[in-house]
Structure 1
Amino acid sequence: MDRYKSFKELASSEEPNAFGIVAVDQHSVYMRCRSTRRKIEPGTSELARAVAGELFSLYLFEGRKSAGNSDLHITSTNFDEPSGLSLVGGSDVAIAMRGCQGSDEVIYLGGKHRVLTDKLAKTFKRGGFVIDVHRNPMLQGTDRRNSCNRGRSGMWIQFELTRALRDWLTSAPREKTGSTLSDFVDAIREAVSEIEK
């Protein structure tokens, strides 16, 4: 259970330096929505930054406490931080990059944008990634109250990335075999470019 039911409640209870917000408007059709990192959902900010680059708008809500960052988690249906909602509202489609538990390297793909979901499944599989739908309905990104559904199209994409996959993709380069951060970024950008044609 979340400690806070809204961003307003969180902000009035936590110290100002307990969290940080990044909102970069690239005036793009697509954006990365509500990625969280640093002991809330480690690795998601790094992945969102890599995918967004200078192409897509980017929103990050980051925990910065020395301990207890899980207290800062607000479920997507209750997340109402104003700059994040504004950025989503100015985009056609939002893509939420979130973290879940898991010792296998899996991307759980969900959301309401079925065309883009299908394209992403294909490009991810070509990149060597394992794709699945999470068994927990709360992690499938289909709830219309999800804060990412407030884009102009009312459709969004949600990734639930296992801890094992996030650790693998954000680890320091070394003699790794298998899919890389570059493969992850390329898969998303390829799918988006096909939709935009």
Structure 2
Amino acid sequence: MGTILGSTPAQAADLYASNTALYSDPALVEGVDYGRRSRRHLVDDQDPAARAQFVRTAVIAPHGGGIEGGTSELCLAIAGYHPADLAPTPTAGPVHDFWMFEGMRSSGNSALHVTSTHCDDTTARAMCAGSLNVVSLHGCTAAQAGLEAGAQAVLVGGLNSTFRQYLMEEFATAGIRAVTASGEEEIAGIAPENICNRSLLGMGAQLEITTDLRGAMFATGKNTRADRAANTLPLFWSFTGAVRTAIQRLEATQPVL
């Protein structure tokens, strides 16, 4: 496993059976051991002559911070916020709702991993249930992905086949190796209980990004929780742009609400 960017084992090794169980552990302190960040955009629809825009897509990182390094930064950037200062990026959008759970320890963050089928954070569940689309960001090793050592790739999973297709196509356009996720249920994101599939449509997308691909997104020597946000490389923004474009294509196929 990557000692800086981090990846996590299968759910059998999880110390906590749910987010609720983790939050209830008196040995853990929020803001010290772990943190949560989210943003839901206001929909003010009081004018009968006009219709306020409905935020269709949520971007989530259930294992951010030091658990699966780089996923917090990608979550913010894909949602439309620069990870260093939260400035709208680009200024005109796109802007999506986001939620993340982050390990904040100097070490041992893998113990805070809660598998995606057991994610019961109230904000995460509510946000996903109120969104047409959800894309969930994760980190894995090449071995966990079933790929050769050192592989720079993203595994595309989840139950929304159209979303998966668009993601695969946009990654190909960006020159990023993308593989259709298969096999182990957590890696493939195919369980209906997976947080990525708890959308209004009952399906979403899950991206498992290998340690080496995530490492290539940040400046050498800056792959730490404190430094990553301000040291992104072009590959980071190529990945971000590919996911954003896939989201835009998906939303364009959906009816006006």
TM-score by length of 2: 0.71
**Aligned equivalents of 2:63 and 2:164: distance in 1?**
21
**Aligned equivalents of 1:69 and 1:3: distance in 2?**
11
**Aligned equivalents of 2:181 and 2:165: distance in 1?**
16
**Aligned equivalents of 1:97 and 1:83: distance in 2?**
17
Deviations 1:83-107 (A, max 9, x none): 1111111111110000001221101
Does 2:63 correspond to 1:50?
no
Alignment of 1:115-194 (within 5 A): 115-138=162-185, 139-171=187-219, 172=231, 180-194=235-249
CA contact (8 A) 2:157 2:182 kept: no
SS of the residue aligned with 2:134?
A: strand
The amino acid of 1:142's aligned partner reads I
Alignment of 1:57-72 (within 5 A): 57-72=97-112
Report how many residues are paired.
Answer: 193
1:12 to 24, 40, 49: 24
Deviations 1:152-196 (A, max 9, x none): 11110000000111111133467xxxx722211221121121222
CA contact (8 A) 1:92 1:151 kept: yes
Aligned partner of 1:108 in structure 2 is 155
TM-fit CA distance, 1:134: 3.8
The amino acid of 2:118's aligned partner reads N
Deviations 1:19-63 (A, max 9, x none): 100111136211112343232100110111111115111111000
TM-fit CA distance, 1:11: 1.2
**Aligned equivalents of 2:106 and 2:178: distance in 1?**
33
CA contact (8 A) 1:31 1:95 kept: yes
Runs of 4+ in 1 over 4 A off after TM superposition: none
Aligned partner of 1:195 in structure 2 is 250
Which structure shows the bigger proportion of residues in strand conformation?
1
SS of the residue aligned with 2:189?
A: coil
TM-fit CA distance, 1:143: 0.8
**Aligned equivalents of 1:137 and 1:20: distance in 2?**
28
CA contact (8 A) 1:23 1:87 kept: no
**Aligned equivalents of 2:57 and 2:18: distance in 1?**
25
What is the Cα-based RMSD across aligned positions, in Å?
Answer: 1.6
**Aligned equivalents of 1:184 and 1:78: distance in 2?**
27
Aligned partner of 2:49 in structure 1 is none
Aligned partner of 1:32 in structure 2 is 59
**Aligned equivalents of 1:48 and 1:101: distance in 2?**
19
* Structure 2 gaps, min length 5: 1-12, 42-53, 81-87, 89-94, 143-149, 220-230, 253-257
* Structure 1 gaps, min length 5: none
**Aligned equivalents of 1:180 and 1:6: distance in 2?**
33
Which structure shows the bigger proportion of residues in helix conformation?
1
116-125 or 145-154: which moved more? 145-154
CA contact (8 A) 1:47 1:170 kept: no
SS of the residue aligned with 2:164?
A: helix
SS of the residue aligned with 1:119?
A: helix
SS of the residue aligned with 2:190?
A: coil
SS of the residue aligned with 1:5?
A: coil
TM-score by length of 1: 0.91
